[in-house]
């Protein structure tokens, strides 16, 4: 159950209640810079050695072979294949709708401004290993990457102790058209995608979740000109409840978040204390039979329930927290929707569990955590694009706009900026064209 309960906390305490549990990242940066240095100097050999050390398997070949992919396709059971295909279709449909047409606006006669989305040429997807084979994250990253038109999409994921990648990950990657899959994990995978090795080509942006080493490595990659999807932290869920909520559904949703890791955080904000008590009862009952019970219990220790009867105060709190996932667990969810300013992805109504968005509804599950929802979007097609602007100015156009440019350039004391217009307007006397 959630033991930290705040009844009508004062607004001046909101910021403190919103604070996430923090880990001490000291010493991490030295580890990461050593790994990058080693990969830079020794390329594939460094990857093979790190894999032997961290994943306990000595590989001869880093790239997943076609035979391995075919074996994986054969191994995944048909029901799971069907489920993944349903999810793929939904995710594709929603993300394809996000594509924006090129924009063309004539701001003045003869002055055309354009904006065009262009896929990032080279992107890298990281899929963690560990206790759960996150094939769903393959869908969430590979689908928008292909829609965006990224030309090179590579995927890194650590091998298991037998030197294999989980078949569902390989099946899903293949289904999404990813051809280059490498058996390398951790910070060394990020280093490889950043710096390139004999086998793995460097990319311009890396995507995907991971432990604190992966997260720190993604941050460090920026020093080499490689972008990252978003600053990542532990996953989190905030549920807003009212009189129309169902305690058993809420408890199930909170546990679905809590089972991710002991560092996950779940928050329950309600307009009455009754629902909080009811959810706690349900939590006790439901957690008892959960395979990942210990993890969920650990996460619940970080968790909080907050009673705020006043709707405005409640959403002030929610927007200050800026949850990664926000469930509006109410039959009357539409009356709250407009109050939501800061959240990664929002789940509306009593029949909309977070796991729908985690897997199959169509929205992306790679979302901003740790309050970054205040300034970052979740991954979407734009995350794999740049919007390049173009301007096309005719002789007539520069006549129309030229004097304004000259005046402003002179106002900023940048005479060469003014000259670049003057010379085209033949107002430039120093040099004859």
Within 138-177, which residues bind its own copies (CB under 8 A)?
A: 168
Specify whether 174 is catalytic: no
Minimal distance in Å, beta carbon 53 to its own copies?
Answer: 25
Closest CA to 156 of 203, 100, 108: 203
Residue ranges in 389-428 that form contacts with its own copies under rule CB under 8 A: 389-395, 397-398, 401, 403-405, 407-409, 411-421, 423-424, 428
> Edge-to-edge strands of the sheet including 152-157?
180-183, 152-157, 122-126, 205-207, 227-228
CA angle, 61 then 62 then 65, to 5°: 75
Is 29 among the residues that bind its own copies (CB under 8 A)? no
Residue with structure tokens 């929802």? 373
Specify whether 166 is catalytic: no
- Mark the segment that binds its own copies (CB under 8 A) among 67-75, 182-190, 250-258, 307-315: 250-258
Is 242 among the residues that bind its own copies (CB under 8 A)? no
Minimal distance in Å, beta carbon 52 to its own copies?
Answer: 26
Alpha-carbon distance 211 to 128, whole Å?
8
48/300 with CB nearer its own copies: 300
Residues 17, 57, 73, 111: which binds its own copies (CB under 8 A)? 111
Q: Which member of 174, 325, 354, 365 is catalytic?
A: 325
Residue pair 266/325 in contact by the 8 Å Cβ criterion: no
CA angle, 21 then 27 then 31, to 5°: 120
Q: How far is CA 206 from the centre of its chain?
A: 10
SS3 label, residue 137: helix
Residue 238 main-chain phi, psi, to 5 deg: -120, 130
Is 357 among the residues that bind its own copies (CB under 8 A)? yes
Is 222 among the residues that bind its own copies (CB under 8 A)? yes
Is 190 among the residues that bind its own copies (CB under 8 A)? no
84/307 with CB nearer its own copies: 84
Is 11 among the residues that bind its own copies (CB under 8 A)? no
- Mark the segment that binds its own copies (CB under 8 A) among 30-38, 59-67, 210-218, 338-346: 338-346
Closest CA to 431 of 414, 409, 412, 416: 416
Closest CA to 336 of 427, 238, 403, 247: 238
Is 201 among the residues that bind its own copies (CB under 8 A)? no
Residue ranges in 364-393 that form contacts with its own copies under rule CB under 8 A: 364, 368, 370-378, 380, 382, 385-393
Residues 258, 269, 306, 307: which binds its own copies (CB under 8 A)? 258
Q: Which member of 236, 282, 324, 354 is catalytic?
A: 324
In Å, how far are 68, 161, 165, 337, 347 from 192, measured between CA atoms?
Answer: 22, 21, 18, 43, 37
Q: Which positions are catalytic?
A: 324-325
């Amino acid at each position: 159950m959630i033991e930290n309960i705040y009844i009508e906390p004062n607004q001046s305490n909101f910021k403190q209640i919103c604070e996430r549990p923090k880990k001490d990242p000291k010493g991490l940066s030295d580890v990461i810079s050593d790994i990058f240095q080693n990969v830079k100097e020794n390329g594939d050999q460094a990857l093979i050695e790190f894999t032997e050390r961290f994943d306990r398997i000595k590989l001869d070949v880093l790239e997943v072979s076609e035979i391995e992919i075919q074996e994986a396709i054969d191994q995944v059971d048909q029901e799971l294949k069907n489920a993944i295909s349903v999810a793929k279709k939904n995710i594709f449909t929603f993300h394809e709708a996000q594509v924006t047409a090129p924009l063309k606006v004539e701001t003045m006669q003869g002055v055309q401004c354009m904006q065009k989305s262009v896929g990032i040429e080279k992107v890298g997807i990281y899929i963690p290993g560990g206790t759960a084979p996150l094939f769903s994250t393959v869908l969430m990253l590979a689908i928008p990457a292909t829609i965006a038109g990224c030309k090179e999409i590579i995927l890194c994921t650590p091998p298991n102790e037998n030197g294999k990648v989980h078949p569902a990950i390989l099946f899903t990657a293949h289904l999404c058209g990813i051809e280059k899959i490498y058996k390398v994990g951790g910070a060394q995978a990020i280093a490889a995608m950043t710096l390139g090795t004999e086998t793995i080509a460097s990319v311009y942006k890396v995507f995907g979740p991971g432990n604190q080493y992966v997260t720190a490595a993604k941050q460090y990659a920026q020093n080499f000109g490689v972008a990252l999807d978003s600053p990542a932290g532990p996953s989190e869920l905030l549920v807003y409840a009212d009189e129309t909520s169902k305690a058993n559904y809420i408890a199930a949703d909170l546990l679905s978040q809590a089972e991710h890791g002991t560092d996950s955080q779940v928050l329950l904000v309600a307009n009455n204390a009754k629902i909080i008590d009811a959810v706690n009862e349900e939590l006790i009952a439901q957690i008892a039979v959960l395979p990942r019970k210990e993890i969920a219990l650990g996460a619940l220790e970080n968790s909080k329930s907050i009673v705020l009867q006043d709707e405005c105060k409640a959403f002030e709190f929610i927007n200050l927290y800026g949850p990664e996932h926000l469930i509006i667990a109410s039959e009357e969810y539409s009356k709250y929707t407009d109050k939501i300013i800061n959240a990664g992805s929002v789940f509306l109504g009593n029949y909309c569990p977070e796991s729908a968005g985690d897997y199959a509804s169509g929205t992306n599950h790679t979302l901003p955590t740790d309050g970054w929802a205040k300034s970052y979007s979740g991954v979407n097609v734009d995350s794999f694009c740049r919007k390049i602007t173009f301007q096309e100015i005719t002789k007539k156009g520069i006549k129309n706009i030229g004097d304004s440019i000259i005046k402003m350039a002179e106002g900023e004391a940048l005479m060469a900026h003014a000259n670049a217009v003057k010379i085209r307007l033949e107002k430039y006397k120093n040099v004859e064209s």
